Amino acid sequence: MALAFDEYGRPFIILKEQEQKTRLSGLEAQKANISAGRAVSRILRTSLGPKGMDKMLQSPDGDVTITNDGATILEQMDVDNQIAKLMVELSRSQDYEIGDGTTGVVVMAGALLEQAERLLERGIHPIRIAEGYEMASRIAVEHLERIAQKFDFGPTNIEPLVQTCMTTLSSKIVNRCKRALAEISVKAVLSVADLERKDVNLDLIKVEGKVGGKLEDTELIYGITVDKDMSHPQMPKQIEDAKIAILTCPFEPPKPKTKHKVDIDTVEKFQTLRQQEQKYFDDMVQKCKDVGATLVICQWGFDDEANHLLMHQNLPAVRWVGGVELELIAIATGGRIVPRFQELTPEKLGRAGLVREKSFGTTKDKMLYIEHCANSRAVTIFIRGGNKMMIEETKRSIHDALCVARNLIRNNFIVYGGGAAEISCSIAVEAAADKYPGVKQYAIRAFADALDAVPVALAENSGLQPIETLSAVKSQQIKENNPHFGIDCNDVGTNDMCEQNVFETLIGKQQQILLATQVVKMILKIDDVISPSDY
């Protein structure tokens, strides 16, 4: 530990309880940070690409998660190191912003750190490295824009979108039926997309899963599913042209907020109270009936009596529906959420073409499907799968695919996947490096080397010779001046990603490069780590 001494040799106490803290500074601190960052990226490295492996994570409570999704792995890893936490943040922000490429961004940051370490050893100042990286990232992003291609699609021509989603899904465990899932995701996104504003509200897409069946049974429902059943076992299981009253008030006598007491001291009072109570129930049910509702969906429970009255009036009802679901139902059916019975009017009812109850398997699991809604802007993706882990993983994969589709709608430029974009950028950055005088040149060149890390990892994971493959592809790109060549992970026989239909979104790639550079810069700038030592 670096200590300051006065002229008599006594140490100065600078930090509070200095002896109990460990302190790393200067090059040592940077190296420690870099190695922590690289340790995280090393974990994710094998998950990259279509032949990437999964990680099994056991949570503090003993639940098992098996996943391939970078953001999920890091989230659940429960890291302790501060720098490692930064990497986790990095992958999370890629997840929030883009939704896909969470593994790639960490791998790239790791590679940048690795290169930086070498430069540091040669005595280059970290700030210089950071500046060089910044410059190089700008070059790469601009180059991406140049090689990006515009992708035309419309509500009828969804094929390009499907292809891009398939690239995303091919690295997940669901790649067995990636085509079907990609189609489902694209259709879901398109049905909620606002093509004019180029915006997609992913909240309108609900992803539900139920254990059982096959992955192939996964379906897109133009409507809502609710994990509830009719409140009374003998209510009809199927309602056509339903008019839905969406209530947030219980079918119970009112409970005023102010404290009150009703004193009963005579028989008459007792009887009037009784009649009053009956009237309440009658009124409530009658009101729903009067406005012409054929289905009542309620956030709260009903009393037995209310339940029977509803049944009696031939008014099916669902109780204990959650707030979020209630909102989605309201959006989908075009109804309004009604907080009081008095405010129930025919205009506030939601409409759906078909409401049905469906049961699954040998257990008595039932779900309510609300389909053909007035406003079909809310959709549900209903996932089936062999076990819970599979469903959770499918949910994550679908989420990635949805995000990709959304990004394409926002910005319909794509670059080629399979490492092609990275290799092309690397060539461009390398070429640009020579134009910069001074120390930065080294940093820019290091950036170019770091860009190669993604295709190398891809090749490694696919069981190819990494260096051989990369150099072959690189020379091919330069020779033919065509940025479409990438790593042939699936052993198809061609390097041309255009033919293999492997696409990624432009903004996703750009974001990856920018985010990775940012984090690396941040890590490089740290030159002092002060932490409480472990006793």
> Which one of residues 60, 123, 493, 532 is an interface residue with another protein (CB under 8 A)?
60
With binding defined as CB under 8 A, does residue 64 bind another protein? yes
Neighbours of 492 (CB within 10 A): 11
Site for another protein in 228-267 (CB under 8 A): 232-234, 252-256, 259-267
> Which one of residues 53, 324, 431, 467 is an interface residue with another protein (CB under 8 A)?
53
Neighbours of 350 (CB within 10 A): 25
**Smallest gap, in angstroms, from Cβ of residue 280 to another protein?**
8
**Smallest gap, in angstroms, from Cβ of residue 308 to another protein?**
3
**Smallest gap, in angstroms, from Cβ of residue 128 to another protein?**
23
Q: Which helix (H) or strand (E) holds 528?
A: strand 528-532
**3-class secondary structure for 298-330?**
ECCCECHHHHHHHHHCCCCEECCCCHHHHHHHH
C-beta closer to another protein: residue 60 or 532: 60
Between CA 344 and CA 352 the distance in angstroms is 18
C-beta closer to another protein: residue 2 or 273: 273
With binding defined as CB under 8 A, does residue 323 bind another protein? no
Total residues interacting with another protein, rule: CB under 8 A: 84
Stretch that binds another protein, among 91-99, 341-349, 358-366, 415-423 (CB under 8 A): 358-366
Marked catalytic residue, from 46, 65, 67, 69: 69
State yes or no: is 400 an active-site residue.
Answer: yes
Q: Which helix (H) or strand (E) holds 534?
A: none
State yes or no: is 225 an active-site residue.
Answer: no
Would you call 475 exposed, middle or buried from its count of C-beta atoms within 10 A (0-12, 13-18, 19+)? exposed
First and final C-alpha spacing in the chain: 16
State yes or no: is 241 an active-site residue.
Answer: no
Strand, coil or helix: 127: helix
Q: Angle of helix 27-45 relative to helix 70-77, nearest 10 degrees?
A: 120
State yes or no: is 283 an active-site residue.
Answer: no
**Smallest gap, in angstroms, from Cβ of residue 309 to another protein?**
6
> Which one of residues 3, 13, 19, 59 is an interface residue with another protein (CB under 8 A)?
59
The structure tokens listed for 13 are 């106490």
Neighbours of 73 (CB within 10 A): 24
With binding defined as CB under 8 A, does residue 535 bind another protein? no
Marked catalytic residue, from 46, 65, 103, 394: 103
With binding defined as CB under 8 A, does residue 395 bind another protein? no
Characterise 175 by phi-psi region: left (phi > 0), alpha (psi -120 to 50), beta (else).
Answer: alpha
Between CA 166 and CA 397 the distance in angstroms is 11
Neighbours of 101 (CB within 10 A): 28
Place of tokens 């289905």: 295
> Which one of residues 154, 322, 386, 438 is an interface residue with another protein (CB under 8 A)?
386
**Smallest gap, in angstroms, from Cβ of residue 303 to another protein?**
7
Site string (434-473) toward another protein, x via CB under 8 A: ----------------------------xx----------
Stretch that binds another protein, among 31-39, 138-146, 184-192, 414-422 (CB under 8 A): 31-39
Nearest alpha carbon to residue 446 among 124, 162, 165: 124
> How big is the CA angle at 441 (ends 438 and 446), to the nearest 5 degrees?
145
Q: Which helix (H) or strand (E) holds 371?
A: strand 365-373
With binding defined as CB under 8 A, does residue 361 bind another protein? yes
Marked catalytic residue, from 72, 102, 167, 469: 102
Stretch that binds another protein, among 179-187, 379-387, 451-459, 510-518 (CB under 8 A): 379-387
Catalytic residue ranges: 69, 102-103, 400
